[in-house]
Amino acid sequence: MATTDRQATTLALAHALSAAERGLAVLPLSRTKLPALRSPHRDDPDPSPCHGECGRLGHGVYDASSDPARIRELFAAAPWATGYGIACGLPPHHLIGVDLDVKTGTDSSAALRELALRHLFTIPPTVVVVTPSGGRHLWLSGPPDVVVPNSAGRLAPGIDIRGAGGYLVGPGSRTGQGVYAAAPGTAHLPPPPCPRSLLRLLLPPPRAHHPSPRRPADTAGAWSSSSSPRTRASATPGCSGRPAGPTRTASAPRSWTRWSTPPGAPACPSARPGRRSRRRRG
């Protein structure tokens, strides 16, 4: 078992470095699909929010990097890692992950086709990662000036979205349930732009504006500055200074490398209006 784990760690590191060549920021994952490094603040009596400003490893997705030296450092600190995560929302791809789940017993592919018909969009050819349970992860890219939030089941039952602050399990990762692998013919594809109609669905609805009631002219003097709490709350982060996002290199992404595909894995599910998908994802 120890030899198998070492082999899985070696393969995970190799896949993570290949992903970094494509401009993707990565971090080591354990067999549970969680970040392999524990928080350095886990024993603090009153831990403050920290995204890595302390300089130590163990801040989840905020450890993610596309720098090969940093990636090797992360995996050296987590020799039990058997997979890797790909941070979403970061340049140059601003990755958005559409997670089509099957564990809920719902047909998430059919739900995506229904959304495509209703809102008139088509999912372009893209990387499709097949999960051990039969689910699918579709990779899309977002605009650099738009922050796509994470969500679970908000679009439709069984459809989860991985956006800023989230991550996808990378192809080639081994978990307790099995191996994640790219579907045939999709590993070489770059993430295409997210269709505008779909992007609008991914963003939270604008907050309703409720103007404050006007004060009666004859009672304006009764309002004192002390009784009108109008000071804005401080936006100072909990750790030292501004939260630091996952690190990355400035070099342009290199050519896409192919990941292993499980025998008999289905091809990329089409979300084109009117076409039925042959896949089941989980």
For residues 49 and 111, the model is more confident at 111
**Strand 128-130, strand 167-169: pairing:** unpaired
CB 87 within 8 A of CB 246: yes
pLDDT single digits (tens) 114-155: 999 999 999 999 999 999 999 999 999 999 999 999 999 999
Exposed / middle / buried, residue 28 (Cβ in 10 Å: 0-12, 13-18, 19+): buried
Residue pLDDT, tens place only, 201-250:
999 887 776 676 666 555 444 333 333 333 333 333 333 333 345 555 44
Are the C-beta atoms of residues 62 and 52 closer than 8 Å to each other? yes
Rounded distance between C-alpha atoms, residue 264 and residue 191, angstroms? 23
Nearest to 162 by CA among 177, 180, 142: 142
Phi, psi of 64 (to 5 degrees): -60, 140
Q: Taking phi first (over 0 means left), then psi (-120 to 50 degrees means alpha), and beta for anything else, what does residue 234 get? A: beta
Helical residues (DSSP H) of the chain, grouped into ranges: 2-21, 68-77, 108-119, 196-202
pTM of the model: 0.75
pLDDT digits (tens, 9 = 90+) for 4-54: 678 999 999 999 999 999 999 999 999 999 999 999 998 888 777 888 889
Domain ranges of the chain: 2-202
